[in-house]
Structure formats: C-alpha cells, structure tokens
Amino acid sequence: MFSAISEKSVAGCLTYLEAIREAQFRALTDDPRVFIYGQDIGNFGGAFKATKNLAAEFPGRVIDSPISEDAMVGLAVGAAIEGMRPIIEMQFADFSTVGFNQIVNQAATLFWRTNIPCPITIRLPCGGTSGSGPFHSQMLETIYAHYPGIVVMTPATVEDAYSMLLAAVAIDDPVIFCEHKLLYYHLKADKLPSEALPIGKARIAREGRDMTIVTYSAMVHEALAAADELASEGSEVEVVDLRTVKPLDTDTVMASVARTGRLLCVGEAWPWGGVTAEIIARVTSEGFGLLDAPPQRLNAKDTPVPSHPNLWAAHRPTARSIAAAARNVLRQ
Amino acid sequence: MIQTASKPQVGDDIASFRDNYLRAFRIMLLARAADDKFASLYRAGKIHGGVFLGRGQEAVSVSIGVALRKGDVFAPLIRDTAGRIAFNEPLLDMARTYLGSPLGPMRARDGNIHRGRPKDGQLPMISHLGAMIAVVNGILFARRLKGITNTVGVTCIGDGGTSTGAFHEALNQAAVEKLPLVLVIADNQYAYSTPTSRQFACKSLADRPAAYGVPVHVVDGTDLGACLKTLSKAVEQARAGHGPQVVVANLLRLCGHGEHDPANYIDEQLKNSPLGGDCIRLAEEKILQQHLANAGELMSWRNEAAQQIEEVVATVQREPAPDPFDEKWNALATEELVEGHETSD
C-alpha cells in the first residue's frame, strides 16, 4: 500500500498526539478557566492517551464523563456562560453526531442570540486509519463548517496541532478541532513551536509553479508525496495547507491559483458538497479568468468508510490517486 | 423515593405563608394578563411567529421563581411566563421579544419565548427539548469548580420532553455529578397533540428520575399552595447539597400548544376532571375562603395586572423595528475570524 505517512518517517521525538497533550498541559497550566471533560480521559488518560497524566497533574480539572455526548457539550456551554474555557474530548469524531444538536444549535447560536461568547473547544479525533471502519473513521469538518458560529480547525502538522489547539482554547467562539488519528503517532517534530501563523491563514506547504493542490489535515502529506512524485516527472506542484477550513483563506488559494493557473482540491471527507466543492465554487466565481484548465476535486468515495485495509486504501485519496488526478489537471 | 406533598391543612396552611401565596398569586395574574394580551395580538396579526401560553401552568411555574434567590439559575420552557416574572425577568423583555424590538435582550434575532439574559441566570431556551438541562448542569458544574456553592439551577420540561435522549443524558449527568439541579416536569397530559399514553409506558413520570437515583416530588399542579411548598422543599434540598431533585406537577394544559392550535384533541373527560382545574380560579376561591383578600381586592389586582401589561406593550409598540442594514450579520464573537472580514494587513 502506498501511504505517504508510513513512508515518511520525519526525524524528531515529539509526535502530533504528544503535541496535543502538551498543548492541553499548557492551557491547564496557564489558564485556571480551562478544564477537560470527556470519556475515559481521567486516570485512564483517554482512548488515545491525549490526556495522559493530566488528571493527576491537575486534580479535579480533567474529568471523566458518562457516555453522553449531548450532555457533555451542553455542560460545556453552561460552563462557558459561567466564564470557563472547557475542552471536550469526543472519543472519536464519529460520536460527535450524538452531541450534534448541542454543538450546532446551542453552542453555535449562543453568541449571535445573546451576545455572550461561547468559548468551547471540541476535540474530534477524526479520519481513517486502517481497520477502523465506518464508525471510527469519519471526517466531519464539512458538516460543522456548514453551520454559522463555529470555527473549524484541521491541523496537518505537529506544530499546528500544538499552536492551533492553544489558539482554539483562547478563541471566544466554539471551535471544532479536527485532529487526524493517522497523524497521531507517525508525524514527529523536534520541538514545540514558539510562534505560528495566525488562525485563518493558510500555509504554502510546498511551492510550485505548474499547479496548485489545496488540501488540509492528513491529505496534506499525501499531496506532498504526490508532489514529490510529480517533481520527478518534471512538474512543480504547489501545495496549500488550509489549516482552518472555516474561516477558509480564499486569498491565499486565489493567489496560488493566480500563479499556477491550475487547481486540484483534495479532501478525505465525502464528495457531496464540502470543503473541496466550496473552494472550487469560490475560485471559479471569483477567479475564473485565472484558470488555464477546469479545476478538479478528489474526495473519498461516496460510501461509508470501509474496514479492510485494501478497501480503505481505495476509499480515500492517497498520494497515488492524487498524483493521477494532478496529471489530468496538468494535461489539460 | 417518591414523595407526595402533604395536602394543605385547612385553616393554618395558607396563613403560614400568606405573603408568598399572595405575591405568587399576583404574579400569576400578571402572567395570565400577558398571555391574554399576546394571544390577542397574535389574532390581530401583530406577532411575527408563534405565541405560547402558560394557561393552567401558572401555579407550578410561579412557585419556581418564588423559591429561587438572586444568583440562582433558571432555564424556563415555553409555558413559564409566571416563573420568569417571579425570577425578575423584566416585563419589557417579554414584550420586546414577542414584538421583535431590537432593544430587547434578543435584539429581534430570536422571538417569543426564546429570551433570556444568561449573565443574570436567565437562560434563553433553544427549541430542542431537553437541551437546556445539561446547560444548567454546566453552570452549576463550573460554579463548583470555581468554589461557588449555595446556588441552585432550575429548568422545566413537559411530559413529551422526557422522551428525549437529552433529558436522560442530562438528568443522569446531574445525578453522577450530584449537582444542585431542580428539574420541573409539567405533566400537562399532551405533547402538542400526543397524549401521554403515546409518550411513555411507565406508570408515572415519577418512575423515570427514580431510575437515576434522583428524588422525585409529586404535586398537584392546580394547587398553588401545594406547588409553593413542593418547589420550596425541592430547591432547599438541592441547595443543601442533596443532589438533583425532580418535581412532577400533574395538571392539564388549558390552551393549545401555541395560539395557532385549537386543541380540539383534548379529552373532554380530562377537562372535567380535577386535573383540568384552573389554578388561578382555584387560588381565588382559596383566597376568598380563607379571607386573605376580598372580591374587590381581587378585581383591582386583576385590573392592575392588565393595565401593567397594556403599558408595557404600548411602550414597545412605539419602538423601532430592526433594520437589516444595521445588523452585523456576524455569528462569531471573534470578528477577525469572520469570513470576508477586512484586516488591516
């Protein structure tokens, strides 16, 4: 199987998952208003160990919840009204749909309705890993980005996982923090970052003059691997990492397309609507004249996420399928 | 675990908390006058959206506001005009939200019973039933983290709302965390048009909280004296650290779901049963019987209530309508994260 992550073992000792744990450690240390609430996150340290030792280090502030996603988010909203900055860990992004109502109707409407901010951070361990199947693999950034009143973050690097989670806690609005499970252990960095791009700004992950690939989260690494492959064929691909899908940094995307004239959007979410469709809609309506070829998009297949590795690898975009789609764009 | 309020003893019961009783009664008159006025405005086409009345539920609702103190939290449901007034919601907030004044707390962005001031402990409900319970839990939970004790949170739900997952998740959460929550269930026999027989198969709604280890107080919702006693006791228990409490008030909704609903599905037998009693009329009878006030005083209180509502409505009717060009159309508190926001760089 051709997977960018397994092939690219970055030097360093700090993983994406550890960066998330460290960001929570720092948020708890720096701000007495922060607490974490979720299933199995106390002494057990969470299903993925993203809160390892935090319950012991911050007694009474890292709290096990019942299996009640609706009530977990509802409690966070009440705590936010009371001036706290709760972090909710959903055990898997997929289970956040049980708390969907509280997220989109309670948290996301509170500021607009009452002028009282709702600073809650909801961590969604998202995305496919081999063998996880239909209910432990979903990418849900699109459905949350659809609702007004929510910021949706999709960090692709260890550094962003750390700095963006700290930013999420500091922001006065509900933040859906999509942390990709495939990046948890494989992605490594040497140290925690001391500075970061502002929230809402995309990053040029690789420069290139021939075409632009816009993507986010784990697909950034698949796209970079595809760009390596295309470079060996003589094509220079620019890769834009959106970092947040809402707000969506249209300016950076448009500027890149202005340089390259060609656009491929890649997302691990399902194809109907969504982030990739939104980018293409914006680029074609606001920058039609910049395009030298019809923009394309590549998403997961329009089925639930399959369990078996063979099927899963074919369901989501990979470096190989991205490279193939990019060649099509380059040929036109 | 299920406790039934003792029947008031004729003679000394009302006199023993006469002041509360009369204060509560006059708020009920005000709530009924407001309901009548907004129903009439609705029929005249002066209201954008629905009008939802608390007719028949004033006794249990007002008892909540009377039992609470400043600093407590109240998340009312749609039939809680009386409880809101008793918990010091300004009458102007009600009129401004019903009539869509931008000067109201919801600034014409939300309407009718969707109003509140979270910083004053008055939470504006969303329409999804059961969803406010966990929010009240969150406020109480946060206060405990901050070391604030001695406050209570109350929220209300109907018989139908007890079928939602949100109700069960949040009641269980309150029980696990031993939060000072009082959950008031107005069992008014119908959820919109659906009778309780299509809503639950347990014998009584009191069975549901009992399953979570939560004490239940059952009360005759048509009897103001009993409601005052029961709510006062439930709130006291929560405040004293005995964990969440549930009150089940048995009564009948004496109106449609909203003013658009003629409610011709309500069983005539129920209307003529004790459940169908009007808590305001019953309280009046008691007041006269116990010589707490005379018929003339009752009449003047009634007129005073109607006059007060007329004045508030007239004030709001002179206020400007919301202007879409003044609206910020911005759902985020963080302005620089709003898409299309102009930055200096």
CA distance B211 to chain A (A): 16
Peptide bond into A32 cis (omega under 30): no
Residue from A61, A95, A112, A169 to probe the interface with B (highest B Cβ count within 10 Å): A112
Please, what is the Cα angle at A144 between A143 and A145, to 5 degrees?
A: 90
Q: What percent of chain A has pLDDT over 70?
A: 97
CB contact under 8 A, A105 and B126: yes
- b/e per residue B307-344 (b: at least 16 CB within 10 A): eebeebbeebeebeebeeeeeeebbbbbeebbeeeeee
Phi-psi region of A303 (alpha: psi -120 to 50; beta: other; left: phi over 0): beta
Q: Which of A18, A69, A141, A238 is catalytic?
A: A69
Please, what is the Cα angle at B102 between B101 and B108, to 5 degrees?
A: 75
Nearest CA among A72, A103, A106, A105 for reference residue A89:
A72
Q: What percent of chain A has pLDDT over 90?
A: 94
Report the C-alpha gap between B293 and B301 in whole angstroms. 10
Average pLDDT over residues A161-185: 98
Q: Where is A107: in which H helix or E strand?
A: none
User: Between A82, A117, A248, which is nearest B142 by CB?
Assistant: A82
pLDDT value for B12: 53
CB contact under 8 A, B333 and A76: no
Query: Model confidence over A194-212: pLDDT tens digits?
Result: 999 999 999 999 999 999 9
Q: Looking at the predicted structure, is the pLDDT value of residue A316 above 60? A: yes
CB contact under 8 A, B114 and A71: no
pLDDT value for B14: 52
pLDDT value for A12: 72
Q: Which residues pair with B155 in a beta bridge?
A: B75, B183
Average pLDDT over residues A179-205: 95
Active site residue A186: no
Count of positions (residues) in chain B: 345
Give domain limits for chain A: 4-189, 203-331
Residues of chain B with pLDDT under 70: 1-16, 341-345
Please give the ipTM for the structure prediction. 0.94
Active site residue A180: no
Phi-psi region of B178 (alpha: psi -120 to 50; beta: other; left: phi over 0): left
Structure tokens that stand for A282 in this block = 């914006």
Fold category of A4-189 in CATH: Rossmann fold (3.40.50)
pLDDT value for A281: 98
Report the C-alpha gap between A36 and B141 in whole angstroms. 12
Q: What is the pTM of this model?
A: 0.95
**For B59, which DSSP code?**
H
CB contact under 8 A, B110 and A106: no
Pick the CATH number of A203-331 from 1.10.10.60, 3.40.50.920, 3.30.365.10, 2.140.10.30: 3.40.50.920
Which residue does chain B place closest to A109, by CA atoms?
B331
Q: B188: which residues sit within 8 A by CB, 6+ positions away?
A: B56, B57, B79, B158, B159, B221, B251, B252, B253
Pick the CATH number of B2-318 from 3.10.20.30, 3.40.47.10, 3.40.50.970, 2.40.30.10: 3.40.50.970
Q: Where is A26: in which H helix or E strand?
A: helix A16-30
